[in-house]
């Protein structure tokens, strides 16, 4: 079975996860606040399919509104070294005891979709590209945040190097921990979106996503996939692990 096929499989979050799994209904209810003046017209928020459909509609509306308001040059806040959170937290849909360990010597980044050069990339090739660093805040949907220091390849630089269709709608990421997610192309081209190779000046440790993770500080944490194994540029909606369970797809800050 290929990685792409495996990553499409929905893997339920285990009961022993370190951080509580965010509740879909609570997440969607948050969309009601973001919707502002739009109202449910008397529906109570009980567990029934009609309410789920209404909440899901607001979630999709939020995606469209956030996408329309997204500024391709508006930057997320940056910080100083003194602001970095000690022992930056580990977070995933599985506990720390199941952190994936990937062999960087044999790892290759697979490419597919709307790109002209699908040659797999090694870590050495990625490190030979221009690198940029950032100290930015990671914001988790579970209600916590942390500031970390990341560096790596500007994602726009990488997409241009592989001849990606920059007018395509989506970029999908498939990961070595069976996670997957996707982002819109304008967010992919944002100047702060990077393929992170290092944390705090050293290669990413496994708990932060070795060998490569996406660092995109303009979005919530679950849009920052770790252990990236494959990237697909596409015009077909790719969904994601949490997104396919009802969470807002755009999830911008």
pTM of the model: 0.77
For 112-130, the pLDDT digits (tens) are 999 999 999 999 999 999 9
| Residue 125, pLDDT score | 98
Residue 47 or residue 110, greater confidence: 110
pLDDT, greater one: 126 or 61: 126
Could you give the percent of the chain with pLDDT greater than 90? 70
Sequence spans of domains, the chain: 75-245
Per-residue model confidence (pLDDT) at position 146: 98
| Mean model confidence pLDDT for the chain | 82
Residues facing residue 136 across a β-bridge = 78, 148
**Which CATH superfamily hosts domain 75-245?**
Oxidoreductase, molybdopterin-binding domain (3.90.420.10)
Mean pLDDT of 216-245: 98
CB 173 within 8 A of CB 230: yes
CB 176 within 8 Å of CB 110 = no
Which is higher by pLDDT, 17 or 101? 101
Q: According to the model, what pLDDT value does residue 12 have?
A: 38
Show contacts of 8-15: CB within 8 Å, 24+ apart: 8/180, 9/178, 10/241, 10/244, 10/245, 11/93, 11/178, 11/241, 13/93, 13/94, 14/93, 14/94, 14/95, 14/98
Q: Which of 121, 128, 119, 126 is nearest to 106 (CA)?
A: 121
Q: How confident is the model at residue 75 (pLDDT cuts 50, 70, 90)?
A: very high
Two tokens at 177?
Answer: 């921990």
Average pLDDT of the residues in 191-196: 98
Give the burial class of 180: count Cβ atoms within 10 A of its Cβ; 0-12 exposed, 13-18 middle, 19 or more buried: buried
């Amino acid at each position: 079975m290929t990685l792409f096929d495996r990553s499409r499989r929905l893997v339920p979050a285990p009961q022993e996860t370190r951080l509580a799994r965010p509740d879909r209904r609570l997440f969607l209810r948050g969309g009601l606040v973001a919707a502002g003046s739009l109202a449910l017209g008397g529906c109570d928020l009980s567990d029934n399919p009609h309410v789920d459909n209404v909440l899901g509609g607001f979630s999709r509306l939020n995606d469209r509104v956030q996408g329309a308001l997204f500024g391709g040059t508006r930057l997320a806040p940056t910080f100083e070294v003194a602001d970095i959170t000690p022992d930056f937290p580990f977070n995933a849909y599985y506990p720390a005891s199941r952190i994936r360990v990937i062999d960087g010597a044999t790892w290759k980044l697979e490419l597919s979709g709307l790109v002209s050069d699908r040659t797999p990339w090694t870590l050495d090739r990625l490190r030979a590209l221009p690198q940029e660093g950032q100290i930015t805040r990671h914001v988790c949907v579970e209600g916590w945040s942390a500031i970390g220091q990341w560096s790596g390849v500007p994602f726009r630089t990488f997409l241009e190097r592989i001849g990606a269709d920059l007018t395509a709608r989506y970029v999908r990421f498939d990961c070595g921990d069976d996670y997957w997610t996707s982002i819109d192309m304008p967010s992919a081209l944002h100047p702060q979106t990077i393929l992170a190779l290092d944390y705090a000046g050293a290669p990413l440790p496994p708990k932060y996503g070795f060998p490569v993770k996406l660092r995109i500080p303009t979005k919530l944490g679950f849009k920052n996939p770790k252990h990236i194994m494959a990237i697909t540029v596409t015009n077909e909606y790719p969904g994601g692990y949490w997104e396919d369970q009802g969470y807002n797809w755009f999830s911008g800050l």
